[in-house]
Amino acid sequence: MHLVLRSCGRLGAGWACRAAPRCGPRAQRALLGSALMPACNATIHIRLSEQAKDYALPNSSWSQEMMAQFNKYTEMSKDGKWKRLPSYRDVLDHMPSYQDLLDHMPEKMRREHVKIMDKERRMFLRSFDEEGQGFEYVMFMNPTEKRIVCVFQPGPFLEGPPGFTHGGSIASILDSTLGGCAISLMGRVMTANLSINFKNPVPLGSVVLAESRLDKVEGKKVFVSGQMRSSDGETLHAEATGLFIQLVPPKASQPPKGPK
């Protein structure tokens, strides 16, 4: 069970201190640069030595083609145009800005949300214990071009038709790729609509590239499009469009105004 230490207060630019099986990199930076209350120190010092695992790094299950694509985009990242996006199991490590949303929730809503978060949980795409069995992927972003490329290798636990990847798994990767583009460029968003046209099945264990691009923004509406192709670009597996809505932190409840 996760323990949320609200007694620590906000750290740095509003990050909360949270004791879990590990503290994410951003939480660690905030902790190292902040003056902590003595009551927190014993717990915090224990957690600082435990690093959150970045699952967007090579492991023994990655095929030669997966490694080739990873090395290709890593090389392209050296001039700063592309950037690899880290990926963690815990949502607060994966998207630390989500903590801001919690901090701005009304107290009652936040307490109910924390009850749910106290249970053991994992980000959906990182829910497999054994490497190579489920979603193996890494995302690279190009902020100037407003797009993301996801290198994806589906494992055997994602099977739909015999030998091929389940359509729901493809939809999940496309949703995460399009949503990642919207989140990285526009901040906190949630999916309002995702439309996918499936063109060709994706063989299990193959390597495909899911790409997304920010098309336009209308008020709180963020429009993103994308596609999934084979690593050589010859086969189109799926096309997708997504509508995402920017989230605005709920306003703190205010006492009713008295009579004039």
Catalytic residues: 175
Handedness of CA 95, 100, 104, 110 (dihedral sign): positive
Largest interatomic CA distance in the chain: 74
202/149 Cα distance (integer angstroms): 17
Neighbours of 16 (CB within 10 A): 18
Contact 153, 66 (CB under 8 A): yes
Phi, psi for residue 227 in degrees, rounded to 5:
-155, 165
